[in-house]
Chains A and B, each alone.
Chain A
Amino acid sequence: MNPIAQPLVQHGPVAPSVLSDSLQVEGLSKHFKGTEKSVFRDVSFSINEGQSVALIGANGAGKSTLLRCCVRLIEPDSGKVSLSGEDLSSKSGRALKKARNRVGFVFQKHCLVPRLSALTNVLHGNLAHCSGPRNWAQSFARQEDRQRALDCLEQVGLADFAYQRCDQLSGGQSQRVAIARALMQEPRILFADEPTASLDPQSGELVMDLFGRLSRSRNLTVFFVSHHVEHALHYADRILGLRSSELQLDSASHSESAASLREFYA
């Protein structure tokens, strides 16, 4: 039996039912010093709450850079970014860190601490909200936090692996633990940068299924980069395409064909 097929339980803060902007980007530009041309220029788009949006583009088109600029992990040259109506552009230091704590990030590599258990790694998501030994290891954690971490693992179908060391998990399982860690933050928005790139096709589908499910059941906004036309078409409500330093595509996924999208990977 596929453990992921279990129904998902609703957790965390329930989103308001009105449609509101989750992420709003206006005129974002980035040019790395010492390189010839801009990675992207004057990119604008906004993503509604609960929407699932794919970002596609050729290798080196600037997808990862765009994703990171949205939360200023890379500093954009110009432009404005708001998260849930909160302007990030003017924030600095502590305030910026605080704004990031409701932003979940899943990378191409799972980035778990290999020697620690899955449960402890999930608990680390809580470090976004509170610092200190309580969130260093599951053995020091508050009972309710341990329970919540276990619930997050349950949602990615890995509750049985809670006490397994992460270096004993497969690539797909590790990526799902990384998603559970992001859920532990109770994020408003989940960014994912090619989360399936290092996985075999089957585990990749499982991970994408999970994103789709979370987006629906928790009304979670998901913004993911994909190198897979099929994933973008199948799992996103909407597709953005980056080419020649510009956002050249922004449309609902059902109105696009695989052939037209493939041009973005050329």
Chain B
Amino acid sequence: MPEPSPIHPASSVLRDRFQRPSWLSSGLFALFLGFFLWSLAGAGMSLQSLIQGLPNMGTIVGEMFPPATDRAQPILEAILVTFQMALVGTVIGVILSIPMALLAARNTSPHPIVRYVTRSIISFVRTVPDLAWALFFVVSVGLGPFAGTLTIIVDTIGFCGRFFAEAFEEVDPGPSEALDSIGSRPLDRIAVVQIPGALPSMINTGLFSLEKAVRSSVVLGLVGAGGIGAELAVSMEMFRYDQAAFIIFAIFILVYIVEHFSSRLRERLLNQIR
């Protein structure tokens, strides 16, 4: 009887520890390495400046303590405005995102062209950075929180529009087909199948988007779009590092509270819907 032949004849032979990379991959790697070294200079990396800067950092941090409470009232008011901008912007943004997402989702869109156009609008809105939107709105509606709120609205549409649409597309098509077979209208099916089906995911996305808006509205003030950012910029520019420390601490508290409540609320709402 012949000896059965091995299934993988070569597997018993050890290969070399390292295999010679192809010329192409070696070439690409060398190119990448060269570009990275060049980028180090381009990014202004300099150990010398870092070392020279260390005493400055030490002085600033030293001057931050104890934080100054002399401007506590206007700062806390600015913090409140920051939160109000984020809240109003997110709520309006979420409300506007729902019809946008319905037009953009494969299973609810009235026509492929409508779907393509809305998708493109949502992607465009999302790709432009929020500070660029803020600058645009400051120029169009003037300095102040209204420009910031508009920025948050647009930002929320870019974010929620996309994820709501994905949530609608993931809803089980069975119930919708069943209701279609008895002659119901598309709008009714959206209301009773797609919206309830996507609701948990929408709540998740909406609350996440509120957290995102709070963090984002903190910096919008740097370009004059209202909120606490302006206070921070002024304190830094006037070398009032102790005031700046108080502002940073207040921002930290705000972000912490919002994230904490948002996760509590998320759990409660998800357990309740019926």
Contacts from A to B (Cβ < 8 Å): 71, 73, 96-101, 103-105, 107, 109, 111-117, 120, 124-125, 127-128, 131-133, 135-137, 165, 178, 182, 185
Contacts and interface: CB of A to CB of B under 8 A. Distances in A.
Interface residues of B, number: 22
A11 B134 CA distance: 62
Q: Which of B188, B191, B199 has the most CB of A within 10 A?
A: B188
B2 interface: no
B178 A136 contact: no
Contact of A111 (B178, B196, B200): B178
A73 B181 contact: yes
Given A109-B174, A127-B188, A127-B192, A116 B274 contact: yes
Q: Chain B at the A interface: mostly helix, strand, loop or mixed? A: helix
* List of 3 A-B pairs having minimum Cβ-Cβ separation, nearest first: A111-B178, A97-B183, A127-B184
Interface of B: 172, 174-175, 177-179, 181-185, 187-188, 191-193, 196-197, 199-200, 273-274
Given A109-B174, A136-B188, A101 B274 contact: no
A226 to B, nearest CB: 19
Given A104-B182, A111-B178, A135 B188 contact: yes
B167 to A, nearest CB: 13
B196 A115 contact: yes
Contacts of A137: 192
A185 B273 CA distance: 26
Contacts, number: 72
A195 to B, nearest CB: 12
Given A127-B182, A165-B274, A111 B177 contact: yes
Given A99-B183, A107-B174, A136-B191, 20 more contacts: A71-B181, A73-B181, A97-B183, A100-B182, A101-B182, A105-B178, A105-B181, A105-B182, A109-B174, A111-B175, A114-B197, A115-B200, A116-B196, A117-B274, A124-B179, A127-B192, A131-B188, A136-B188, A136-B192, A185-B182
A128 B91 CA distance: 34
Contacts of A133: 191
